């Protein structure tokens, strides 16, 4: 059951990362700092999703802590974005906050 939860949250994070990347590509002009940083953030979320997927079904405490720490970093970043746009309740923010925190907690169970 725990393995399924980790994989599900990893897939949800990967979907969010993909949508984030797509939004970055259509929202920001090419060769801008905003686009580069936004795509970098999407890549970070995708990497966390991949690490979470790899962790599912394994007993690897070190990797669990790495994934949890990365997810908490992602949650802080997303929260900062929500504050920057003046709407912490924005659906994009809430989605990533819930999935990121869920994955962080689940990998430590």
Please report, for residues 23, 33, 35, the alpha-carbon distance to residue 72 in angstroms, rounded to integers and kept in the order given.
Answer: 23, 24, 23
Domain range holding 42?
2-107
| Mean predicted confidence (pLDDT) in 38-43 | 97
CA 20 to chain centre: 10
| Number of compact structural domains in the chain | 1
Closest Cα to residue 64, out of 72, 54, 55, 73? 55
| Mean predicted confidence (pLDDT) in 50-78 | 96
Which residues are within 8 A (CB) of 36 and not within 5 positions of it... i.e. 6 or more apart? none
Residues 42/25, Cβ–Cβ less than 8 Å: no
Please report, for residues 5, 7, 65, 87, the alpha-carbon distance to residue 80 in angstroms, rounded to integers and kept in the order given.
Answer: 27, 26, 22, 10
CA 67 to chain centre: 10
In the chain, pLDDT over 70 holds for what percent of residues? 100
pLDDT, mean over the chain: 97
> How would residue 44 be classed by pLDDT, with cut points 50, 70 and 90?
very high
Task: Check residue 66 and give its pLDDT.
Answer: 97
Task: Check residue 1 and give its pLDDT.
Answer: 81
Does residue 89 register a pLDDT over 90? Answer: yes
| Mean predicted confidence (pLDDT) in 34-43 | 97
Q: What pTM was estimated for this model as a whole? A: 0.94
Task: Check residue 30 and give its pLDDT.
Answer: 96
């Amino acid at each position: 059951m725990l393995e399924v939860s980790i994989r599900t949250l990893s897939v949800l994070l990967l979907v969010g990362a993909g949508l984030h990347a797509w939004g970055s590509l259509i929202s920001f002009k090419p060769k801008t700092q905003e686009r580069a940083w936004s795509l970098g953030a999407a890549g970070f979320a995708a990497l966390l999703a991949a690490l979470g997927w790899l962790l599912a079904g394994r007993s690897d405490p070190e990797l669990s802590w790495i994934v949890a720490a990365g997810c908490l970093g992602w949650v802080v970043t997303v929260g900062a974005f929500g504050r920057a746009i003046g709407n912490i309740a924005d659906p994009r923010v809430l989605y990533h906050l819930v999935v990121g925190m869920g994955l962080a907690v689940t990998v430590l169970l």
